[in-house]
Amino acid sequence: MPAQEFAPGLQIQGFTPPLRLTDYKLVAFDMDSTLINIECVDEIADAVGMKEEVAAITEAAMRGEIADYKESLRRRVALLKGVTIADLEEVYVQRLQLNPGAQKLVQACQAAGLKTLLVSGGFTFFTDRIRDRLGIDFTRSNMLEIRSGPNCGELTGRMVDQPWGDICDGAEKRRMLLETCQQLGISPRQAIAVGDGANDLPMMGEAGLSVAYHAKPKVREQAMVAINEGGLDRVLEVFAR
């Protein structure tokens, strides 16, 4: 079924509305440029005068033009060496905002009984705060290494391996979605996945409903719902009231 304009700025394909939100049991969100308004790695890089270089790599990765996401992230994080914890805090306090409709959508899903999952190629410094702010049930993201000893409180330019692996890329987002569904005893068809970049496509491909939010062309083309105008809560328009 080809994509069709369901409402101004809202495209759908592969299903006929209305759906029932209560038929779903899990909603998985990307963070950067989806739940929140920035790409955190780009804004962190601004603290050391490297935003232009880092943002160019981020854009290419999100468009799917870089095959090895893990290597692209390692390259970007290496450029963050010397950034301080105070710099990270400044990004969170001064630059990071929830995207329009994000809180409303999360609350609507929670009210309908859905569990919530945040899977991000970003960093625990930010995902932990967004988790607590929105009451999200599960998270997976990357951990920045912080120097101890001399110059403590500065980034080393590396990431820390975690019990589940090294880097949360597209394959890890998919794996976390499937693991969470298994943990909850539900089918992936009972999950909703929301994202904007190429690294979100693996999890979106497993979910029963995939949502692209102001996304890259490759992601808009493959999503069942594409929100091209307005806030995240516009996905609620495809559900019965």
- For the question of residue 30 being annotated catalytic, the response is yes
DSSP designation for 237: G
- Count CA atoms within 13 Å of residue 200 on its CB side: 34
Distance from C-alpha of 199 to C-alpha of 62, rounded to nearest angstrom: 7
Catalytic residue from among 23, 30, 137, 161: 30
CB 199 within 8 A of CB 69: yes
Provide the 10 A C-beta neighbour count for residue 101: 18
- For the question of residue 169 being annotated catalytic, the response is no
Residue 129 CA, chain-centre distance (Å), reads: 14
SS3 per residue for 107-141: HHHHHCCCEEEEEEEEEHHHHHHHHHHHCCCEEEE
Please identify every residue annotated as catalytic: 30, 32
